[in-house]
């Protein structure tokens, strides 16, 4: 009796597996499944794909949430920093677009070197990043004192400057 129950279980399990395989409902390979945490996905920084664990690239924060791409799901914009070995700390803004399977990363847009981030918000369909920078004539050692607001939006899965 034990062998019969085990044999039936194996046949049912194999049949179910074959059904999933034939109908395309089998689980996808791990690499094809989007990450659940937006900090575990790849972003494009200066034309190359990077993860937040790559070298000098770090999550800074200043999150803003909203539906950036109009699909009804809440996306996240945030700041990244990159320290390439020199004295600079380069700040970028990137977005993680929510999908039904997890998140998909956008390109990152450079804000500046050694800026002073203030706020990031989502309003009227735009991601607004506020920070302080230096005057063009000031050296990099000067304290950032000029208020700057950058307006961005998502178009075709990419982060772009909003036309103003």
* Structural contact between residues 111 and 94, judged by C-beta atoms closer than 8 angstroms: no
Range of the domain at 119: 34-161
Task: Give yes or no: residues 97 and 46 share one domain.
Answer: yes
Residue from 88, 106, 98 nearest 158 by CA = 106
Both 28 and 102 in one domain: the answer is no
The reply to whether 90 and 142 lie within a common domain is yes
pLDDT tens digits, 153-164:
999 999 999 987
Counting the structural domains of the chain, the total is: 2
Same domain, 134 and 55: yes
Stated pTM of the model: 0.77
pLDDT per position as a tens digit, 100-136: 989 999 999 999 999 999 999 999 999 999 999 999 9
Residues 70, 19: one domain?
Answer: no
Range 4-10, long-range pairs (CB < 8 A, 24+ positions): none
Q: Are residues 42 and 117 in the same domain?
A: yes
* Pair 29, 85 in one domain: no
Q: Are residues 23 and 39 in the same domain?
A: no
């Amino acid at each position: 009796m034990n062998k019969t129950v085990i044999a039936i279980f194996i046949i049912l399990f194999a049949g179910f597996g074959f059904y999933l395989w034939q109908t395309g409902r089998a689980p996808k390979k791990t690499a094809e499944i989007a990450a659940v945490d937006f900090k575990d996905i790849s972003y494009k920084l200066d034309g190359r794909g990077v993860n937040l664990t790559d070298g000098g690239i770090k999550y800074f924060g200043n999150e803003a949430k909203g539906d950036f791409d109009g699909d009804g799901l809440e996306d996240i914009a945030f700041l990244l920093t990159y320290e390439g070995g020199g004295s600079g700390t380069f700040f970028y803004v990137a977005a993680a677009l929510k999908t039904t399977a997890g998140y998909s990363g956008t390109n990152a847009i450079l804000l500046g070197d050694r800026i002073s981030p203030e706020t990031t918000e989502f309003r009227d369909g735009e991601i607004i990043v506020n920070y302080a920078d230096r005057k063009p004539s000031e050296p990099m050692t000067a304290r950032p004192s000029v208020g700057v607001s950058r307006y961005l939006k998502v178009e075709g899965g990419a982060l772009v400057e909003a036309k103003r």
